[in-house]
Amino acid sequence: MTDFVPPHIPPQMRPLGLLGSLRAMRSNVLTIIPGIAYTQPIVTGTTGPGRWHMVQSPEAMKRVFLDNHANYPKSEAMLRMLRPAVGASLFTAEGAQWRWQRRAIAPVFTARNVTALAPMMTGTAERASTRLAAGSGPVGIVGQMLSATFDVICEVALSGRDHFDADLYAEAITRYFLTIGRVSLLDFLEAPAWLPRPGEFTGRQSVRTMHRMVAQAIEARRARPAQPDAAPDDLLDYMLRAEDPETGRRMTAQDLLHNMQFFIVAGHETTALALSWALLMLAHSPDIQQAAHAEARAVLGARAATAADLSALPLTEAILDETMRLYPPVGFLARNVLRPDMLHEREIRPGDALFLNIWSLHRHRDLWPAPDAFDPGHFSAEARANRDRYAHLPFGAGPRVCVGANFAMMQAQIILATLLARFRFHPAGALPVPVMHMTIRPDPDITLRVEPIPDTPEK
């Protein structure tokens, strides 16, 4: 272990009030978390007209995600921020609308199909290595990892990125998060969703940019001669052929657009951020990086990783799990409450707001030794066996657990192991601050010095 303390957010030690909470939410959602949330299972308060609860215990997470999940649909404020980009897609739909889409899309992410997609991930790891080796001077890591994971998701979703300008698409995503994807004062005041928020006007162009690229890719596929007996090649093929067995319903053009949009954004943004944070942690933890390099080099030599290698790379997996403990893809989720319930002997009433505080769950003093440290030992086989399943939730849980979780982990492991076998990473810039709007991003970018390792075996 080193003396390195990973970037974190100082706990909020005083009530913020309505306007203070709004300012904090708009600048960085993580700054509203009170200090008591790192030591208690539930925190209750009021902001403006609303009563809220912030939960950060395995018991409460299991109740909300699994045992009583129908009582806790996604909050209207969160849906308001997401719908312009992804409509009533798998991520935002509820009830029967969600169930039939889940049945239609799930087959592409079975273990067998994900393994079949692994060669695309290996190819992406090769290209990422080539780009890093060709550079000179400090490297902006987030951009490099976004490019790598964008390659993979475009291959999986659309069998290529012919209709995408990756830089323009990435700019549109960032612009969306900073406009439509930010909380508004009207959300705090519980104004109806149909009342436009200021960010919706400034973010419309980003939505049009993303939707135009996705729509062009879909139309190009529709124009291709049909081959009804051919096996599906990618996610779009599955969606085009999907049919609800109960109603015979098929996806409309809008269903296709919104679901493809969701998978492209979620499928590369979150994995790229996990890889970026992992490389930052390793750059500041040279002993752990050396151990991971030795593991990767022993298994891979200098070649790129494949799916068959992953079982022999437990430290690489533990590094990613620990990184997503410290920097979960989404650190904070909001839920509505439909019917009365009890959480930790606290009365939960219809109309209350419920916040699933993944960030504090992953750093809770009662659940993790050295909760703010970077320690892959948190994910040793023994530690995993002795920990509650609901203490670590980077991909959610229950019926709506992320359908692409296995895909994301395989992609991240293949890329990370390949890079660790071929490069050493050193600090080259100021430590960033974790900032959450939709996802948890570093601000400023992670800047590292990348040192290629010779292909000859080390003595």
As annotated, the binding site for heme includes 402
Residues 209, 85: contact at Cβ < 8 Å?
no
Binding residues: 402
